[in-house]
Amino acid sequence: MENNQIVSRMNTYLHTSAKFLEEWLGNLLPKTSDYWWEECVIEKLSYIQRETAKSRGFTKLEDFDLAALLRIADKSWYAMRNVAYLPTKERECIRDMMRVRNNWTHCSAVLPGKDTIIADLFTLHQFFEQMESDDKLINEVDIMIEEVKSPSTVDFSSILNTEESASVEQEEVGDENDIAEKSLVYLIGDPSVKGIVMSITDLGDTKKYADEKKLATLSEYFVRSKSEVIIANMLVQEEIPFVYEEPLFAPDGTMFLPDFTVKLRGETYYWEHVGRLDLPDYRAHWEIKEKWYEKHFPGKLLTTFEGKDLSTYAMGIIKDHK
């Protein structure tokens, strides 16, 4: 498939999703309370969405875009569950649709990789089934999945990564004093893990070397992995203040970079996403880091682990501490 065909179809599916969701919410929300509009709609919006609704005089669900409708559905889930049977897996689908919407609303000139496109299409298939769509639409999505899987469909993200790598003049260095911007460096704990130094920041006697972070999130930050994208976007959607990879110094002068430093209920926590425990060096490094947190910042460490249930566990952490 051509990339313009993929974008066009995905946007059509998202537009259709908004219509389905608006009708679905319109059927359930009025049953929850006489004051459902204020309690289950307006109060569940983010600050920006609420201000937009107020300034534009929104009075009905069809006035909202897909992002707002998905948030309303997620935040009002327990209220709706009091009047209808709503399995937990259906709420997970709503949350997965947030990711799909974000992938395509913020899509750049270069499409996501094939795996991401296929995963998004599977989510759309599940969502349309959940909304009891007609079989014709679901079959269209299934056909598109097979078309994207076809070898004739180029993996655009791979092209981008190759071009970006080729466009940076790299010089591998070994001595710390020789490290400069655009140097190619490696982790001492795992020399196979390499990265390009994009900036250097002096932190007293220590230097922070920032490598290439090229995965966009809904926040100001670019991150290193798709899992970190999921976590960052959840924090944004839940309106939780955070910073990414801010140096954290212990009283003894040692330092680590937490993946996320977050504020929950006025308390500061350090969120680490643990991704590659299958690698011995990674596991050893993580064990050292975990003990460091226990010693210097007891009770302040939040952890998630790589896996298909990441979204569920991450949201659970947020809900438990919010």
pLDDT in tens, 217-239: 888 888 888 899 999 999 999 98
What is the distance between the alpha carbons of residues 189 and 285, in angstroms, rounded to a whole number?
7
What is the distance between the alpha carbons of residues 298 and 267, in angstroms, rounded to a whole number?
13
Q: Tell whether 300 and 319 lie within a shared domain.
A: yes
Q: Considering the domain boundaries, does residue 160 fall inside one?
A: no
Mean pLDDT value of segment 260-277: 91
Q: Tell whether 179 and 144 lie within a shared domain.
A: no
Where would I find the beta strands (DSSP E) of 88-205? 171-172, 183-186, 194-203
Q: Considering the domain boundaries, does residue 163 fall inside one?
A: no
Answer whether residue 50 shows pLDDT above 50. yes
Maximum Cα–Cα distance across the chain: 69
The pTM (predicted TM-score) of the whole model is 0.52
Q: Tell whether 183 and 317 lie within a shared domain.
A: no
pLDDT at 156: 47
Q: Which residue has the tokens 């994208």?
A: 229
Length reported for the chain: 322
Where would I find the beta strands (DSSP E) of 39-162? none
Q: Tell whether 26 and 58 lie within a shared domain.
A: yes
Number of Cβ within 10 Å of residue 64's Cβ equals 22
For the chain, give the percent of residues with pLDDT over 90. 47
- Closest by CA to 16, choosing from 147, 119, 136, 143, is 136
Output the CA torsion sign for 29, 318, 320, 303: positive
Q: Tell whether 19 and 140 lie within a shared domain.
A: yes
Where would I find the beta strands (DSSP E) of the chain? 171-172, 183-186, 194-203, 206-211, 215-216, 222-223, 242-244, 248-249, 255-256, 260-264, 267-274, 301-305
Contact 6, 117 (CB under 8 A): yes
- Name the residue with higher pLDDT: 42 or 202: 42
Contact 71, 44 (CB under 8 A): yes
Domain boundary among 127, 155, 183: 155
pLDDT at 175: 47
- Per-residue pLDDT band for 19 (boundaries 50, 70, 90) equals very high
- Per-residue pLDDT band for 21 (boundaries 50, 70, 90) equals very high
Cα distances from 96 to residues 10, 48, 67, 196, 280, in angstroms, run 15, 22, 12, 32, 32
Q: Tell whether 80 and 204 lie within a shared domain.
A: no
Query: Domains in the chain: how many in total?
Result: 3
- Beta-ladder partners of 207: 202
What is the distance between the alpha carbons of residues 94 and 13, in angstroms, rounded to a whole number?
15
Number of Cβ within 10 Å of residue 37's Cβ equals 16
Contact 138, 250 (CB under 8 A): no
Q: Tell whether 7 and 117 lie within a shared domain.
A: yes
Instruction: Write the pLDDT tens digit of every residue in 270-306.
Output: 999 998 888 888 888 899 999 999 999 999 999 999 8
Domain containing 208 equals 168-212
Q: Which residue has the tokens 């201000």?
A: 51
Q: Which residue has the tokens 């926590």?
A: 269
Alpha carbon of residue 10 to chain centroid = 19
Q: Considering the domain boundaries, does residue 124 fall inside one?
A: yes
The amino acid present at 285, given as its one-letter code, is H
